[in-house]
Amino acid sequence: MKCLKNQKYPFAQALLDELEARFSASQHIIFAARNDTRMIEFTPKGGEPIKLAVKSFRVPHLLNRFVYRFIRASKAKRSYLHSVKIGDLTPEAVACCEQFKNGLLGKSYYICHYFDFDFEIKEVLTDADYQNRDDILRQFADFTYQLHEKGIYHKDYSSKNILVKCSDSDYEFKIVDVNRMNFGELNIAKRMQNFSRLALDDATMTIIIQRYAEILGVEHSPLLEQAMAARDTFRSRRKRLRKIRGKD
């Protein structure tokens, strides 16, 4: 097994030696879809128990097994490297591991600190009566602006990939599923495009973009127009693809 380890955590190798057994034994499933994410507890020698999130990536199809071995980094490795770049806006990376069989990628894992979140942003975006909704949306705009100012563009910035933890009247946000990212300076058009996957209705989009524009110190109407156009383009494209695939 080939691994990258955060040197901040000397216990990482001991954890990796037991990783597959601990992952299989864990009953705390965080997300279960194409790839499974589970929470495990690990106690370093002489230390306190640590909660970790482990994402197990399914074995890719044959072509991608070759691609991820010889052409580009695997999803697990990209998750680790991107998390290191992103810093404290995502749960801290601990390690990633790749298994190879006959020279091609098999199973792979990404390990980070477990973020004990209270809800996904999706709950707020889809419920107009959610408690403290406007405050959360405005703080979400602040968080998104912070990402953009740091040159972080999450290519799947969707409601399931943004976790929120309550702290008195403040909210802490983290992005997850970070294997698909771009890094670099972002113009206004690109920033507004980043809201397109959030499935926002007009009223919700307006609250968020008004706050974003307020931080920038600009009039919100042009930004709102760009964000809504990007959202509508994404919706139309997704609808066409679903029709082509026979899902509608």
CA 149, CA 151: separation in Å to the nearest integer?
A: 5
Domain that holds residue 26: 2-113
CATH number at residue 106: 3.30.200
Asked if 220 and 146 touch (Cβ cutoff 8 Å), the reply is: no
For residues 68 and 137, state if they share a domain: no
162-212 pLDDT, tens digit per residue, is 999 998 779 999 999 999 999 999 999 999 999 999 999 999 999 999 999
For residues 228 and 123, state if they share a domain: yes
Domain closes at, from 98, 113, 128: 113
CATH number at residue 209: 1.10.510
Q: What are phi and psi for residue 228, nearest 5 degrees?
A: -70, -40
46-91 pLDDT, tens digit per residue, is 888 999 999 999 988 889 899 988 899 999 999 999 999 999 999 9
Burial of residue 236 (CB within 10 Å: 0-12, 13-18, 19+) is: exposed
For residues 133 and 227, state if they share a domain: yes
The helix or strand, by DSSP H or E, that contains position 157, with its residue range, turns out to be: none
pLDDT at 45 over 90: no
Mean pLDDT of 91-104: 94
Beta bridge partners of residue 95, listed in sequence order = 5, 111
Q: What pLDDT does 10 receive? A: 87
Q: What pLDDT does 47 receive? A: 83
Q: Give the CA radius of gyration of the chain.
A: 20
Q: Model pTM?
A: 0.92
Q: How many helices (H) and strands (E) does the chain have?
A: 9, 11
Q: Which tokens go with 158?
A: 């969707």
CA 14, CA 41: separation in Å to the nearest integer?
A: 13
Of 30-39, 91-100, 149-158, 191-200, which gets the smallest average pLDDT? 30-39
Give 248's pLDDT tier (boundaries 50, 70, 90).
low
CA 92, CA 106: separation in Å to the nearest integer?
A: 25
User: Which amino acid would we find at residue 166?
Assistant: C
For residues 13 and 42, state if they share a domain: yes
Mean pLDDT of 118-129: 96
The helix or strand, by DSSP H or E, that contains position 183, with its residue range, turns out to be: strand 181-183
Give 31's pLDDT tier (boundaries 50, 70, 90).
confident
Q: What pLDDT does 247 receive? A: 64
For residues 97 and 134, state if they share a domain: no
Q: Into how many domains does the chain fold?
A: 2
* Torsion from C-alpha of 195, 201, 203, 208, nearest 10 degrees: -20
For residues 159 and 209, state if they share a domain: yes
- The three-state secondary structure class of 152 is strand
For residues 124 and 109, state if they share a domain: no
Domain closes at, from 113, 130, 158: 113
Q: What pLDDT does 242 receive? A: 80
